[in-house]
Structure 1
Amino acid sequence: MSESVRDVSPPLAPPGTSPTEVLAPHPRRHAVFVVVAFALLMFSLDQTSVSTALTTLGADLGADLAWTGWTVTACAAGQILALPLGGWLGDRFGRRRVFLVAVAAFSLLSLCSAVTTDIGQLIGCRFAQGVAGGVMIPAATGIVAHHYGRERDRALALFTCVFPFGAIAGPLLGGVILTVWSWHGIFLVNVPIGLLLVVAGSLLLSEPPRRRPERVDVAGIALIMATLVSAMVAITLLGSLGRGPLAPVLAALAGAVAVGAGWAFLRHARTHADAVVPMRLLRGRGLGIMNVTNVLFGTAIIGFSALLPLYAQTRYALLPLAAGVLLTARAVGTILTSTVAVALLRRTGHRPLLLVGMGVIVVGLVLAAVPPIGTSPTVWLSVAAGLCGMGVGLAGPAANNAGMHLVPEDVTAVTGLRVMFRQTGGIAAVSVATAALSASGSPGIAGGIVFGVLATLLTGAAVAASRIPNRRGRW
């Protein structure tokens, strides 16, 4: 991320204030954390609920699976686009104001998503929702870091515990709504939550000190989006090669654009000191390994969460509600182990927790990929999802701190990069998988192969992560 989205902690000291006073936790910090946590919960509800509805969306809107998957990936792409803008807007207008506006916009866009009538409209609304969520995250990180002061490491690590609550409620809520109503209601649940958050945030949040906003790297952001979107189009078209003579030509053209834009982006990062993703945060001091780890980590955990309900429905003919319960098992596993991981971080350091957690996720992915042995598909997949969740709970807080402690003066920038790389991995996983399933004559078997591939990629990530410098205590 650019310089404009970095260094939210320690906060800048007002004149006459000692560093100790600046780092003291704010009296309302816990209430502030609740407000910010519920905003992240709303985001998690939205993502996991939509994952349970991919087959229903395709049938209702007349779209094949390759394009229906864009309802997940378009949101992630919008989030990546908005992360650097969120930091700049927070510096320019204040993180409190930006956070509240982002929450309000996300709620309004959820309402717009609920009333769409074709897949193109829905993809556009989902992209805009991702932008609102991406703006929200840097502001939320800065607000929590400011209010918790010297306890910021634990507070930020606890963000890992917030998303699983949405992962519990989202699939169940999505499954119930799909059973008794329609997919439109999945988006409507965000509206009352968002309105309450705006009111509560207006009353409770205080404004962190601002940094002078610097120029936004518009060219770098445009190159990132050109790379992501053209790659998504190319992958989607590859899943439709047999549906028209122009599909191979268009897929090759989109692929060429993706390669060219990616090369231009790397060149831009090397030659511009204020690039949206500066080269100093891409390599050196263990950051290069951590960035690669985050891409593969996101490929596995986001890909698994987005595809598991679809896999359960296509391979084992489970109903949407039963498929949603599987993500609940994953979320319960995450909650059970994430609080333990947060408590152990200062004692063990992040590397042991990261490696053990990734190993547990690999076991869960392998179990999901193979047929059930001696039990029903629901129980078998629930065990696999629970193991994946337990692994995420162990590895998540560790991965969050692994990059931030390397450059503590760039907490927000590293946070944004972590989210960007994980979402990029998730976009790749969902795009490739939905295209493969759409083109396959046996989508269920293809889904099992996808999970096997994800397990292999995460094993490689664990090997790379074993070289990350370990650190105990506070950072």
Structure 2
Amino acid sequence: MKNRNRWLLIAVGLGVLLNPLNSSMVSIALARLQVVYQLDYTAVSWVVFAFYIASSIAQPVMGKASDLFGRRRIFLAGLAVAFAASMLAPFSPGFGWLIVVRIIQSIGTSMMIAVGMAIVRIHIKENQAAALSVLSVFLSGAAAFGPFIGGVIIGWWDWEAVFWVNIPFTAAGFALAWRYIPEDHPDESALKGIPLTKWLELMDAKGIILFAAGLTSLLLGVLSFKSTGAAALWQILTALGGLALLTVFVIHELRSASPFIPIRTFVLYPAMTRVNIEYMLVNVLFYALFFGLPSYLQTVREVSVFQTGLLMLSLGLCSLAAAPFAGRWVDRSGPGPALMLSALLLTFGSLWLVMMNTGSPVASVCIALAAFGLSNGLSGVSLQAALFQSSPKEIIGVASGVFNTSRYFGTILSSLLTGVIMGDQLSTGGLRRLALALTAISLLLLALNRKRLRAALR
């Protein structure tokens, strides 16, 4: 690989790692934020919800915007926005301000995720597969090691450090991107004279508003009911209003010529839909543990934030170790056997947490974390392969976008599941109830893979 291409790859890598890094580091900071802002776990979970809702909207929107305004511009703008948000977040005068800054941070980091892969594909011609695999390491490594990094820096400083840590990444990424990402020149003449209504239709502004308003209203209604322990009229109306808005959103997307989320694709290709459902469920399982366990360890078991980060390291290490093994296995045997093992590991890890009590050694959580980590490494590669098998070549770009959307749905649902089941006051009983729910979802994954199981046994 040419020296210039190496620097381009590093520049893109420094940008794309910011989204998974900032979505994972905060799992360690939740317990500390509860203390700082005197909030319960359900309320502080909006730091997670806001980030993922904004990411699920911003990434497809910015992908469209890059075709109109150029990928280099979007990438550089994303770095600037992420830098500004990381500078402002530690000075938030209240929790509401922190949520706003997290949304801005999510939009900035999503701008780079949306165009980073395309930049590499367009500008690195030699050893492209190797370049894309390196980019994947940036993404998966940031997500896997985020809790450990968060635990270390919060242990040394405080929660503000999870934002300060972005500064060197964004500064270095901007300098390298400015120098090594080539200019692209979209046909700006085609943009002139387009009326505002056409712009809004092209970006599916109505769909975006319906999705954001519906999902936020539904989550607000459900979580506020759990927080207060009683259903007030406004909570019921908020939740029902959210469901109504999401129903209108689905109808609109089915009719839209330029949908924000191409729901018609799910209807036309049931095999691909099944893969996306599995991917969503896998992410529900993984991120429910990812966000719920660190807060439980710090709040209930009184484990220090630094030690929590060390314990969570087993999740990241096992995930990274399993990925290359999964790639070779899937090449030989297809995705079926690896996906079955992944589901079995999730079931084992969930049952292990069910059996834990206040007398169990804290270090024993590493067994469940290792099982979930190995499963994540196996399922990430296997489901990507299953997606390519089930998707027609002519819609592979759309299929990849839908696949990523399924991941965000899974992470949002995981936060909702954790908040509803574990409640305001974390406890060992709450963790056990969460583990029982995760066991049920794991068994559902096993059921979805029963055909693959029979094929693997033959």
TM class by smaller structure? 0.7 to 0.9
Instruction: From 341, 365, 368, give the equivalent of 2:353.
Output: 368
Q: Trace 1:289-308 onto structure 2 (pairs within 5 A).
A: 289-308=274-293
CA drift at 1:227: 2.2
Q: Is it true that 1:194 corresponds to 2:181 in the alignment? A: no
Which of 16, 19, 22 pairs up with 1:46? 22
Matched residue of 1:282: which SS?
helix
> 2:263 is aligned with what amino acid?
M
- Alpha-carbon separation, structure 2, partners of 1:402 and 1:206: 34
TM-score by length of 2: 0.87
Contact 2:347 2:443 in 1 (8 A): yes
User: Residue 318 and residue 123 in structure 1: after superposition, are their counterparts in 2 closer, same or farther (change >3 A)?
Assistant: same
Q: Which moved more, 1:51-60 or 1:28-37?
A: 28-37
**What is the DSSP-based 3-state SS (H/G/I as helix, E as strand, rest coil) of the residue aligned with 1:53?**
helix
Residue 318 of structure 1 aligns with an amino acid whose one-letter code is V
Offset at residue 150 of structure 1 (A): 9.0
Listed one character per residue, the Cα deviations across residues 36-55 of structure 1 (whole Å, up to 9, x for unaligned) are: 23323332332222111111
Write out aligned runs for 1:448-463 (5 A). 448-463=432-447
Residue number in structure 1 paired with 2:317:
332
Higher helix share: 2
Residue 69 of structure 1 and its aligned partner are, at CA, apart by: 0.6
Question: Could you tell me whether the CA contact under 8 Å between 1:333 and 1:393 is conserved in 2?
Answer: yes
Give the corresponding residue for 2:233.
249
Long gaps (5+) in structure 1:
1-24, 469-475
Cα 1:151/1:402, change in 2 over 3 Å: farther
The residue type paired with residue 62 of structure 1 is Q
TM-superposed CA distance for 1:167, in Å, is: 4.1
Select 1:259's aligned residue among 219, 243, 247. Answer: 243
Q: Which runs of 5+ in 2 are unaligned?
A: 192-198, 453-458
The structure 1 residue matched to 2:112, chosen from 125, 128, 136, is 136
Residues 355 and 156 from structure 1, CA distance in 2 versus in 1: closer, same or farther, beyond 3 angstroms?
A: farther
User: Shift in Å at residue 305 of structure 1?
Assistant: 1.2
The worse-fitting range, judged by mean Cα deviation, of 148-157 and 314-323 is: 148-157
User: How do 1:61-460 and structure 2 match up within 5 A?
Assistant: 61-147=37-123, 156=132, 159-167=135-143, 169-206=145-182, 215-242=202-229, 248-285=232-269, 286-371=271-356, 376-378=361-363, 380-405=364-389, 406-439=391-424, 443-460=427-444
Give me the whole-angstrom Cα distance separating, in 1, the residues matched to 2:236 and 2:429. 27
State the structure with bigger RCO (CA 8 A, min sep 6), 1 or 2: 1
Going from structure 1 to structure 2, the CA distance change for 1:41 and 1:123 (only over 3 Å counts) comes to: same
Q: Sort the Cα spacing of 1:68 and 1:265 in 2 relative to 1 into closer, same or farther, 3 A.
A: same
More displaced stretch, 59-68 vs 186-195: 59-68
Q: The residue matched to 2:158 in structure 1 has which SS?
A: coil
Aligned to 1:17: none
Assess if the C-alpha contact under 8 Å between 2:9 and 2:135 holds in 1: no
CA distance in 2: counterparts of 1:207 and 1:408, whole angstroms: 29
Show CA shifts across 1:430-463 (max 9, x none): 12322433345x6332122112212321331343
CA drift of 1:155 comes to 5.3
TM-score normalised by length of structure 1: 0.84
Q: 2:15, 2:109 within 8 Å by CA — same for their partners in 1? A: no
Three-state SS of the structure 2 residue aligned to 1:283 is: helix
| Residue 220 of structure 1: how far off its partner (Å) | 1.3
Q: 1:152: Cα distance to partner?
A: 5.7
Match of 2:437, as an amino acid? Answer: V
Quote the sequence identity (%). Answer: 22
Greater mean alpha carbon deviation, residues 31-40 or residues 194-203: 31-40
> Corresponding residue for 1:15?
none
Q: CA deviation at 1:68?
A: 0.5
1:373-403, CA deviations, whole angstroms, 9 ceiling, x for partnerless residues?
Answer: 997222x111211221111111112223432
Q: Are the equivalent residues in 1 in contact too, given 2:315–2:369 (CA < 8 A)? A: yes
1:464 alignment counterpart: 448
Following superposition, the deviation at residue 258 of structure 1 comes to 1.6
Residues 248-292 of structure 1, C-alpha deviations (whole Å, 9 max, x = no match)? 222211111121112112211222232122233213331211221
Q: What CA distance in whole angstroms lies between the structure 2 residues aligned with 1:465 and 1:143?
A: 36
- Deviation of 1:109 (Å): 0.7
Q: What RMSD in Å do the two structures reach over aligned CA positions?
A: 2.8
Q: Return the alpha-carbon distance in structure 1 between the equivalents of residues 381 and 72 of structure 2.
A: 25
Instruction: Provide the rounded CA distance (Å) in 1 between the counterparts of 2:82 and 2:57.
Output: 15
- Distance in structure 1 (CA, Å) of the matches to 2:148 and 2:446: 31
Offset of residue 176 of structure 1: 2.8
Letter in structure 2 aligned against 1:417: V
* 277-286 or 191-200, larger mean C-alpha shift: 277-286
Distance of 2:385 and 2:215 partners within structure 1: 26
